[in-house]
Each structure stands twice: as structure tokens, then as C-alpha cells.
A and B are shown apart, each in its own frame.
Chain A
Amino acid sequence: MLTRIMAVTIKELQQLSRDKLTFGMIVGIPLMQMLLFGYAINFDVRGLRAAFVDEAGTSGSRALLADLEASGVVRFLAPSADVANLQRRMNAGEINVGVIVPRDFERRRLERERAAVQLLVDGSDPMTDGVAKALANAPLPARNGIYASRVGTFEVRTEYNPERRTAVQIVPALIGVILNMTMVIFTAAAIVRERERGNFELLITTPVRSWELMAGKLIPYVFIGMLQTTLVLVAASLLFDVPVNGRLPDLYMAAALFIAATLTLGLLISTVTRTQFQAFQLAFMTMLPSILLSGFMFPFDGMPKAIQWFAQVLPLTHFVEMIRGVVLRGAPITDLGVQAAKLGVFLVVALAIATLRFRKRLD
């Protein structure tokens, strides 16, 4: 039994070591995605392109506009002569934010009922919207002492990520996204490839059992998954200064569970597809929902209930919770039992289906 599993594993490793491209992807994909996502996905938007119409033209309005630009959130381009022009420029995509200081700005400053300044925001970009809303709460310049300060009702203190750096939120979960992508595709392709090239027809006439064949093929990818996890962690700490607050063994245990789940998903895909092309398509089909619905990018709790239920099926959903728990909140794995159990259920069910579907037959 063990020798047969070993035989398949050895073969898989030998083949991997010859396949330079795949080998490169094992290291290349995590690093590339890490750099892309780590730097590009940034919710603290700065330097939004903006323009203003200053109909008031008072010292107060000029001070306000200067303060806005000084905050670094907006970067003013040439001012517009009127509101219509401002809107045209937003339509054309030249600016994301428009500031309109009305003629009666000084009077409005004195009346508390009406807003002093109108902010025009390009709502087609979700991030821009959020930042612009934040801008709207900016206090008016305190220079003339009328509004010395505007103290908010709440004081916000951000736990686990006091500087509110996006990289801290994104990068740990990125381990999950990267593993999800590589593990599912590699296993699905590795098994379907044998079928496509005809190796399968020979293998199934040998004494190797179905589960031995599957186990033998999956074992190398468990190690590859661990390698990728390590790679991303090291890069995260070096490039983005993401701390690991939890215990490393906890982190690797969570990763191992998730790797097993994604490998099974790949296995399942391989049992329903005939060609590598089909396998890739199906693998990608599971990718996008995983990225968008797992809570990796958008807050999970903000999604409709039906989608939340659907997302429960995706292994990444649970892993994103676990990895953020361990890496950022420093939670021990024992506190994440619910998520671990859900991953376990996925693993068992998917494995059962895959095993039932995987026959040593051609028909």
C-alpha cells in the first residue's frame, strides 16, 4: 500500500522537477500576486483627482480648499468656471471629486442648518465614494474662530491594525487566495492530464487502488502548499511589515486544513472533467466567487443572507476568518473551532463525492 502511494508520489515529484514552468509558477504566482495585491489593493485612497468651482471667492473659501488639498486626499486640477463644466469633467472621467463653494458660502457658514459646501462624488467607483464621504466630515477651517472644533460622537480605535493599513487586512487572507488558486488548478490539472495523455488507462490496470492513486498525487501538493504559505508569510513580513501575532504552529495547522480542502476541491473537479481545458475553466469558475464572496475583499457581514449561505460552501470563506484570526488577532487555533469544523465538513463531503466518482474504469 505504502509503496504504491510512494510510487505515485515519487513519479509526481520527478515530473514536477522536470516541468520548469509549473515549478516556476509554484514560486512565481505567490510572489507576483503578493506584490500586485499588496501594493495595488489599497483602501486608503490618496491623491484623488478633483476640481473646484469657487463661486464665493472669499478668503474663507480659499482657506477651505487649501485645507482639503493639504489633507492629501484630493489633488486639485485646474478649477472649473461653473458647475456644468465640473459635471462634464466628471462625466469624462477627468476627475473623481468636485467641490462646489456656493456664492453664499460665508452666510451658510453661520447657519448651522445648511451645508456650507457641496461635494460632487463619482459614485461609479466604490472606494472613491467611501473616501469622499470621509471628506464630507472634515471640519471647516477654524481660522476665524467660529467653528473652533467639531468633536465627533464616537472616538474610533482600530484594534489589531491601529494604523488601518490595507496591507495588514489584505495580505494574510492573500495566503488563502493564492493557495486556493494554485492548489485547485494544480491538482485538477495533474489528474486530468494523466487521463488526457492516456497514462490513466495504464495506471488503472495496475494494482494501485483509487485512493492510493489520489493520495499519491496529492501528497506533493501538500508540501507545495506549505512552501507557498511560508513564502507569502516571509514576503508579507519583509515587504509589507505584516506581523504574525498568533503562534506559527496554529497558522500552519490552519493552512494544512485549508490545503487539504482545496486539494479535494481540485480532485472533485478532476472527476467531473475530461480535458485540462475543462478543468481550468471549472477551477476558474470557483475562483471568482471565492475571491469576491469570502470576505477577502468585501465585508462578509454586509452581504445578503443568501450569499452568506452560499459562501459557506467555499473553503476560502472559512480560511480567511481563520487566518485573520491567527495572524492579526493572535487567536489560538482552538478559538477557531467552528471555522475549522466547517472546513473539515467540506473536506469530508468533497472527498466522499470524489472517491465515489473516481472509478478504475474507462466508462
Chain B
Amino acid sequence: MNDSPDSSPAIVASGLTRKFGGVVAVDHVDLTIPRARIYGFLGPNGSGKSTTIRMMCGLLVPTSGSVEVLGNQMPRDAERMRTKLGYMTQKFSLWEDLTVTENLDIMARIFGLSKHERAARIAELRQEFDLERIAKQRAGTLSGGQKQRLALAAATLHRPELLLLDEPTSAVDPQSRRDFWESLFALVARGTTILVSTHYMDEAERCHGLAILDRGRLVAEGAPKDLIRDIPATVIEIETEDTIAARRAIEDDPAVLSIAQLGTQLHALVEPGTTEPVVRLREAIERTGIAANVQTVRASLEDVFVAATGFGGRNRTH
């Protein structure tokens, strides 16, 4: 971040593929991730998010294809990149039997900070990530949110240009998640590029750019609001007392690509180009004698996700 503004992309993946035995974990992923942005990987468990991030860190060798990180080929140039990358593993990977300060001190030594720099930087991080109160506590006794703040502090200790965060908020309460994202935006404002994987829609929506992964393939990519605008389906919201009967009334309609329930509402994704989709669904439901309020609505990121991942093989059950 001390470099002059660099317009080259932070990460370029082309045809990136990784197999584990016969299983294809990542399948020909092409991606270009710009600098000084928060870029999100959205996908269910097993969609290849972690494997992709690990290839970007140089921890796994691609079976085929390539990935270039900050202009360096991975994993070939991995060692040269160590000081420029910050990585936060999915599972807490600092030492649970050491205190917060001890953990930071070890990491600072490993990154080669001098005694003076260490003290200053650790004090700074304790302030920034609200670790002051728990500085002498062992990491194993921390809450999920505290552990995650410590892990982020450790990952940013050496002021990396690129932060790779693998599902950082999966074990964290909503308030801590919000605080965590505030920290991420603060880092981006200072020029850091952040790649974060998640399966939370609200988090994905906060990213500048988003890649949706499904079974190892990149199925959609773009800014969240563009993805929402360009969703390849008409989103119909059905508000009714009897959601089960309403679902049954429309689920066999070939134009209905998927149905998801949200409380007393159903979200139906309808084939684009269907004539009068609202009338069509309302009539189908009213024929069974149920009252329903049917209208077209703006797509949510969840709808985008469902559409991108193949409509859950049509007729989603939830």
C-alpha cells in the first residue's frame, strides 16, 4: 500500500482447476480481481471457495490452469509473496494455549519486525481490533468474535497488500460480524485488496465485486447490484395464508424455475419472457380457492444465487 497506485489487477486466474483424486473441487475458473476492493466468493459448502483461496496462497498446486497474485505466479513465487499476503484460515489457526499478545508477538517475529517495531505495531493492533481488555487472555478461552478479531489482527500485522479471508465470520455473532466488516472497509480505504469467502447473503451484498461458485464452477460474476439487475428470471412474490397449497398450485408450471419460502411469502423465479407472469400465477393459485397477493418484486441476492446455481435443480423444496 506504500506503492504508487497500481491499476493492474490483484489476482488473475485463468482456467484454474484443482482435482482431489477423481473429485473436481475447482473447475476451470477464470477471474480478474481488481485492487483496493472487497471481492467476495459466495457459494455453499463444497463449492470450491477454500480450495481456490488456498491455490491463491500457494498452499495447493493447481491441477491445471494458472493463478497470478500481485503479478506473481503461484505457487512458483509463493515464498516471495509471503510478506505481501495476509491469510486468515477458516478454522482458528493461532495457538490456543498462548495469550493474545504472545500470539501477536510470535507472528511479528516470524514476519521479521524488530523489537521496537513489534511493540509499536502490537500496541496499534490491540487498539484497532479492540484487544486491549483481553491482551493477557489465552486464545483458547476467547469467544468466536474475539478469536476472529485476533486472527484478523495477526493477518494484517505485516500490512499485507492482499488479504485472503476464508469464511472469516462463520463462527461469529451478528454484532461481531458487523464490526468485522467495518474493519475490512477501513483496511480497503487504506488500499488493501480483500478477498473474502462467505455463505452469508448480507455479507456478499456488501462486497464491491462478487463471484458465485457452485460445485467448483464460477456461475456468476459482477457487482452485487448488477447481478441483481441482470438476474435471468422474473421474481414474483406471493403472499398467502396457505403457502403449502399455493406452492402446490404453481410448482408444476413449466415456467416456474424455483420457489423459495420466506415466512408467509413465496419467492417464485419465473422464466424470463413469460407473458403476464403475475396474472398467470395468481390465476393458478386462485383456481384452488386460496386468496393470494401476487406481485413482481426486485430480486434479492438470494434469488440471484438460486438462479446462478441452476435453480436448485428446479422445484426447490425450501
Contacts of A206 in B (CB 8 A): 82, 107, 110-111
**Bound-complex Cα distance A203 to B87 (A):** 10
Instruction: Name which of A10-18, A147-155, A268-276 contacts chain B.
Output: A10-18
State whether A201 and B79 are in contact (beta carbons under 8 Å apart), knowing that A11-B98, A14-B98, A206-B111 are contacts in the complex.
no
Q: Are B92 and A198 in contact (CB under 8 A)?
A: yes
Contacts of B78 in A (CB 8 A): 360
Interface of B is mostly: loop
What's the A-B contact tally at a CB cutoff of 8 Å? 81
Contacts of B107 in A (CB 8 A): 206
Residue of B nearest to A361 (CB): B59
Residue of B nearest to A213 (CB): B110
B85 at the interface (CB under 8 A from A): yes
Interface residues of B in 228-275 (CB under 8 A from A): none
Sort chain A's interface into a size bin. 20 to 34
Instruction: Name which of A1-9, A53-61, A62-70, A92-100 contacts chain B.
Output: A1-9
Q: Are B106 and A15 in contact (CB under 8 A)?
A: no
Q: Are B82 and A11 in contact (CB under 8 A)?
A: no
Partner of A207, one of B92, B94, B106, B112: B112
Min distance, Cβ A240 to any Cβ of chain B, angstroms: 37
Q: Which of B61, B79, B97, B138 has its CB near the most chain A CB atoms (within 10 A)?
A: B97
**Bound-complex Cα distance A198 to B50 (A):** 14
B73 at the interface (CB under 8 A from A): no
A193-206 to B contact mask, C-beta < 8 Å, 1/0: 00001111111111
Contacts of B89 in A (CB 8 A): 198, 201-202
Partner of B109, one of A6, A198, A205: A6
Contacts of A197 in B (CB 8 A): 93, 96
B83 at the interface (CB under 8 A from A): yes
Q: Are B97 and A199 in contact (CB under 8 A)?
A: no
Min distance, Cβ A291 to any Cβ of chain B, angstroms: 32
Interface of A is mostly: helix
Contacts of B85 in A (CB 8 A): 205
Partner of B106, one of A7, A205, A209: A7
**Bound-complex Cα distance A115 to B94 (A):** 77
Contacts of A203 in B (CB 8 A): 110
Min distance, Cβ B103 to any Cβ of chain A, angstroms: 9
B95 at the interface (CB under 8 A from A): yes
Q: What are the 6 closest A-B residue pairs judged by CB atoms, nearest first?
A: A7-B109, A202-B93, A207-B82, A198-B93, A205-B87, A198-B91
Binding site for A on B (CB under 8 A): 54, 57-61, 75, 78-79, 82-83, 85, 87, 89, 91-98, 102, 106-107, 109-112, 138, 154
**16 other A-B residue contacts (CB within 8 Å) besides A201-B59, A205-B87, A208-B110:** A15-B95, A197-B96, A199-B95, A202-B87, A202-B94, A203-B110, A204-B59, A205-B57, A206-B82, A206-B107, A207-B111, A209-B79, A360-B79, A361-B59, A361-B60, A361-B61
Binding site for B on A (CB under 8 A): 3-4, 6-8, 10-11, 14-15, 18-19, 197-209, 360-363
A-B contact pairs, 28 of them (CB 8 A): A7-B110, A8-B106, A11-B106, A14-B98, A15-B95, A15-B97, A18-B98, A197-B93, A198-B93, A199-B93, A200-B93, A201-B93, A202-B89, A202-B93, A204-B59, A205-B59, A205-B85, A206-B107, A207-B82, A207-B112, A360-B59, A360-B78, A360-B79, A361-B59, A361-B61, A361-B75, A362-B54, A363-B59
